[in-house]
Amino acid sequence: MKKASIFKAFSLVIPVYNEEKRIKKSLERIVQYLDKKCDEYEIIIVDDGSTDRTLEVINEVSNDRFRIIKSEKNRGKGFAVKKGMLTAKYEYVLFSDADLSTPIEEIEKFEQYAADFDIIIGSRAIKGSNIEIHQSKFKEFLGRVGNRLIQLVLLPGIQDTQCGFKLFNKKSTAIFEKQTIDRWGFDFEILWLARKMGFKIKEVPVHWINDFGTKVSGFSHYVKTFRELLKIKWNSMLKKYNFKKND
């Protein structure tokens, strides 16, 4: 495959909500890494209505590479990611979870595919992935069931739609203009939109460490996400999405 450097002009989008206890450590690690790797970069923090000291902690770490976007109320991770992706200015745009469950260094695994694919997604479910700290057995079971349903209903062939580590070239960020899901189901909606619009997706195995402070908890989360899956399918059947193929 052809080589392309994703580090010449790089945007990183991080959605945050009540992250005062872990965001400083994550940002310090990210800045240290990107300072070494990138010619030009920006870090876009989208605060989704935090009610703790998240913004104060971010301001302790931020520099002129940072842009901070604040929502007055909590709208959901999908809404925050969408806001950040649509304001990113550089050629390659990564969104990453604030806890760095997928370490920022894993982005290097994506570089070899950047010239040939529009969207590159981290995966915990394909050969070569490495889960250092697992979720509970019950959560892992629900995750496997969820992934199978997502493949059956929307995205055959993609093993892990929910890993919070995805890279887009600037052209493919157009999918976020059509995004309708504000919460956890946005991941499979944007990938489904990408396929419909003709963008090429590559799934790459990554190293992943479960963070026990995750906001995803309880069976109700999975029920709500399943409802969002059905909503996307229903809206598709009603032709509520207007598609334009990627040129």
What CATH code is carried by the domain that includes residue 223?
3.90.550.10
Query: Would you say 166 and 78 are in contact if contact means Cβ atoms under 8 Å apart?
Result: no
Nearest Cα to 12, choosing from 104, 102, 75? 104
Instruction: Give the count of domains, the chain.
Output: 1
User: For residue 16, is it within any domain?
Assistant: yes
| Cα dihedral 147, 233, 218, 175 sign | positive
For 11-28, what is each residue's pLDDT tens digit?
999 999 999 999 999 999
User: For residue 55, is it within any domain?
Assistant: yes
User: For residue 135, is it within any domain?
Assistant: yes
Ramachandran sector of residue 136 (left: φ over 0; alpha: ψ -120 to 50; beta: rest): beta
User: For residue 204, is it within any domain?
Assistant: yes
For 46-71, what is each residue's pLDDT tens digit?
999 999 999 999 999 999 999 999 99
Is pTM beyond 0.85? Reply is yes
Distance CA 243, CA 192 (A): 11
Domain that holds residue 22: 9-237
Range list of H helices, the chain: 23-37, 54-61, 77-87, 137-153, 186-196, 219-237
User: For residue 242, is it within any domain?
Assistant: no
User: For residue 245, is it within any domain?
Assistant: no
User: For residue 128, is it within any domain?
Assistant: yes
Distance CA 244, CA 42 (A): 29
User: For residue 147, is it within any domain?
Assistant: yes
